[in-house]
Chain A
Amino acid sequence: MGDLLVLVISCIFINNILLAQYLGNCPFLGTSKKMETAIGMAGAVVFVLTMAGIITWLIDVYFLKRLDIEFLRTIAFILVIASLVQFVEMFLKKSIPALYAGLGIFLPLITTNCAVMGVCLINIQEEYSFLQAVVSSLAYAVGFGVALVLFTGIRERIILGRVPKPLQDTSIGLITAGFVALVFIGFQGLV
């Protein structure tokens, strides 16, 4: 139990997927201008990433490793993620239209969110057990959400300020992200 708690803390804060592992930065900058879209994106990522983490782990262990075709991992994972996203989209559209409308455009975009693929690969690389893979997928996704929401809060403030012209938009966004990342480095001594 203690080990899992350490894993959760290290995935959310110390190895934060956005700010320490540099994964998923395109949606991070793209959806962080308004709190509403940021929350939508965070929700979609938590949902898809957790499911993708579990399914790709099962596929890797019970299928790719058994048959000794690990070199097909990249292709297999991206196909699983793409079809999973499609499936989730159809499911939500039919059963929970309110959530579907809330997530909107972000759901299909998740296919090319490297955080999803990245976490699936990290789970395999670190040779996590099934339980660890589930926990780490969920914790990384929560870390993505936490960082995205925090960053959006700051960015909403920046829009109100007077930013010099060449620095506007993505440029100041990246610099702000740098300082948020600096804050997250402070968590390094935690575990």
Chain B
Amino acid sequence: MAKTISQEFIKGLWTEIPPFRLVLGLCPALAVTKSVENGIGMGLATTFVLLCSNLLVSLLRNIIPPKIRIACFIIIIATFVTVVELMMQAYTYPLYQALGIFIPLIVVNCIVLGRAEAFAFKNPIFPSVADGLGIGVGFTLALGALGAVRELLGSGTLLGHAMFGPGFQPFAFMVEAPGAFVSLGLMLCFMNMLGKR
């Protein structure tokens, strides 16, 4: 049992890491990864929602009638998103402002609904929690990595510290929308190369 739980956790970090392996949740991955900090902040907020919604969906899986399950999932997810939104407003206000409408938009992040439907609704509590946590941490790492690439090339900093000498000319391209698409595309390509057997 312990082994399978750790497997559920680990699969989120490599074999099913979003948004690279599961191509879901692209919008926040593109929008908030101008810097590492924002990427990780978004990842953690999503992880919290994933964890809580997976837990609750798994607990209620025998009570929720299958016909209206999607509506129930959405209400559960929306509730936790509201919780995150209010908490971030209270404790991490600058991050809350930087992420803007992408915090309420966690509601429509396909990863969260996808895990509720594909995993938590069919599995007991502990594997569901491990799955939520794994996918969430995977998403956070992916967003952090993407943020690191874009911040390093786009503004020449990493977590706000200057990484290059004063002569460095930042690529404005990388922090704009096209840079987001291209760098995510290249990272996907890189993951495909690594994953090839």
Query: Contact residues of A with B, CB < 8 Å?
Result: 19-26, 29, 71-75, 77-79, 82, 111-114, 116-118, 121-122, 125, 165-168, 170-175, 177-179, 181-182, 184-185
Contact = CB atoms under 8 A, between A and B. Distances in A.
Contacts of B181: 174-175, 177-178, 181
A122 B107 contact: no
Contacts of B85: 74
Interface stretch (B7-15, B125-133, B159-167, B188-196): B188-196
A79 B178 CA distance: 33
B182 A117 contact: no
A72 B31 contact: no
A174 B113 contact: no
A6 to B, nearest CB: 21
A32 B26 CA distance: 15
Contacts of B186: 171, 175
Contact of A114 (B71, B108, B176): B108
B30 A171 contact: no
Query: Max chain A CB contacts within 10 Å: which of B85, B180, B185?
Result: B185
B81 to A, nearest CB: 5
A17 to B, nearest CB: 10
Contacts of A179: 178, 182
Interface string B12-42: 0000000000011111001100000000000
B109 to A, nearest CB: 7
A56 B77 CA distance: 19
Given A20-B177, A121-B105, A166-B190, 18 more contacts: A23-B27, A24-B27, A26-B23, A71-B82, A74-B78, A74-B81, A77-B104, A79-B78, A82-B70, A112-B110, A117-B107, A167-B185, A168-B192, A170-B188, A171-B185, A171-B189, A174-B181, A175-B181
Interface of B: 23-27, 30-31, 70-71, 74-75, 78-79, 81-82, 85-86, 101, 104-105, 107-110, 113, 173, 176-182, 184-186, 188-190, 192-193, 196
Contact of B107 (A74, A168, A171, A182): A74
Contact of B180 (A22, A125, A166, A184): A22
Chain B's interface: helix, strand, loop or mixed, by majority? helix
B75 A26 contact: no
A82 B85 CA distance: 21
Given A74-B104, A178-B185, A26 B110 contact: yes
Contacts of B79: 75
Contacts of B180: 22, 178
B185 A173 contact: yes
Query: Max chain B CB contacts within 10 Å: which of A21, A75, A77, A172?
Result: A75
A118 to B, nearest CB: 6
A53 to B, nearest CB: 14
A172 B178 contact: no
B74 A79 contact: yes
Query: Max chain B CB contacts within 10 Å: which of A116, A117, A122?
Result: A117
Contacts of B173: 182
A84 to B, nearest CB: 13
Contacts of A111: 70, 74, 108
Contacts of A75: 75, 78-79, 82
Nearest to B180: A22
